[in-house]
Amino acid sequence: MRKRISIDQLKIGMKVEKLDRSWLATPFLRHRFTITSSEQITQLRSSGVQRLDVETDDACQDSGSCASAIPAKVEEPESPAIPFAEELPAAKQTYRAAKLVIQQAMEDVRMGRALNMEAVSDVVGNMADSILRNPDALTSLTRLKQFDEYTFFHSVNTSALALSVGKHLGYERASLLQLGTGTLLHDIGKMLIPVEILNKPGRYEANEFEIMKQHALRGAEILSNTTGLTDMFLKPALEHHERVDGTGYPHHRFKIDISQFGLIAAIVDIYDAVTSDRCYHKGKTPHDTLQFLYQLGAQGHVDGTLVQQFVQVVGVYPVGSCVSLSTGETAIVKQFNHEAPIRPLVVLVTDEAGRRLATPIDLDLAAQRRRPEQTIRSILDPTVLGINPRIYLDKEAA
């Protein structure tokens, strides 16, 4: 049965149903979940939650406490074939190669030349293999953005993120190749849009926006006319701006008529675009962008269930997030921990008093001896603090 309790009565094993404040104000991007660790309770408390509704079973009722309740089975994360650090060098190489391949492909389209599909297939094959060996290595590189070459990095990032979502959904390699190729090329139609419009800083006039919108259809046309790729490969280009409520373009399709590739492409496209710095706006933090996507899901613009899946792929504190720890330090999230999503590996950039460290220190929040353990207390905006998370992540890859 459901009952309302105070945060002080919350115990491990209880199933949370409702909070006294918006979910968007907490790091838990889910409506319902079972408390499986004391950190989750600390996080709810520090998010300002005072009262909440929980589902209890009769046994809990009788004993008046759920302290001994067995936590509901948490979905077993599939363990990666090889560790993150081992996969990282190959992932970096592939990331760099993919950036060069898409840069060349876009230039070819701009110049009216045929696309070198062999190079595209090879590099997407390498990306898919990297994701299959360890989904986090390549995905972690998507935080390394360079704003001057936005379109190329954006293409590689959306492809890497889509592959990671695809793997999470259980796609086999053949489907991953279609999804990865399609998302890598999803904005290829932009190469047929006049440069003045493409690179215009600020908002588009209505007529300019109409021209810009053509890139989705033009992209699908280029791919079907010049590459002989089958339908599924074209879906990300054609559908990445469609929205499940029919408000997107080019065909105002509703969810039922949008492929899963299209639904995934929409989410990773928004995520990468919104987190990127452009000449006319600063990118939002990854965490804020997840909340934004979550809102879009709740409003029915994008597929809400897929947003949940996406959060499980990048983590509630995606790589590159700037966080404040319970002990006062500021840190940057460096690696997602699937077994303990709220305890990622971080790099400390300030000490407890907020003084910048000369040498940043790695700290695995899931493997500490210190008591009480250090936990993430809140998300910070790195621009306010004058911190650039990129310089604390790996620089060479970009």
Q: Which residues bind Fe ion (CB under 5 A)?
A: 187, 269
The H or E element that residue 362 is part of is strand 356-364
Q: Report the residue number, 239 or 269, with the smaller CB distance to Fe ion.
A: 269
Tell the smallest beta-carbon distance from residue 269 to Fe ion (Å): 4
Find, among 182, 398, 183, 360, the residue nearest to 271 by Cα: 183
Q: Give 211-234 as a DSSP string.
A: HHHHHHHHHHHHHHHHT---HHHH
CB of 30 to Fe ion, least distance (A): 27
| Residue placing its CB nearer to Fe ion in the complex, 14 or 127 | 127
How many angstroms separate the CA atoms of 308 and 306, rounded? 5
Q: Across-strand partners of 347?
A: 332, 362
**Minimum gap (Å) between residue 95 Cβ and Fe ion:** 17
Least separation in angstroms between CB 162 and Fe ion: 11
Amino acid at 393: L
Nearer to Fe ion, 12 or 198 (CB): 198
The H-assigned helical ranges of the chain are 38-46, 58-63, 84-110, 117-133, 135-140, 150-168, 173-184, 195-198, 206-226, 231-239, 260-275, 286-298, 304-314, 382-385, 389-392
Asked whether the beta carbons of 267 and 289 are under 8 A apart, the reply is no
Name which of 242 and 269 has its Cβ closer to Fe ion: 269
Question: Minimum Å distance from CB 225 to Fe ion?
Answer: 19
Q: Which is nearer to Fe ion, 248 or 344 (CB)?
A: 248
The first and second tokens of residue 165, run together, are 């979502």
- Least distance from C-beta 392 to Fe ion, angstroms? 27
Q: 39 or 269: whose CB is closer to Fe ion?
A: 269
Q: What is the C-alpha to C-alpha distance for residues 320 and 325, in angstroms, rounded to an integer?
A: 15
232 CB contacts (<8 Å, ≥6 apart)? 175, 178, 182, 259, 261
In the complex with Fe ion, the residue whose CB is nearer, 188 or 387, is: 188
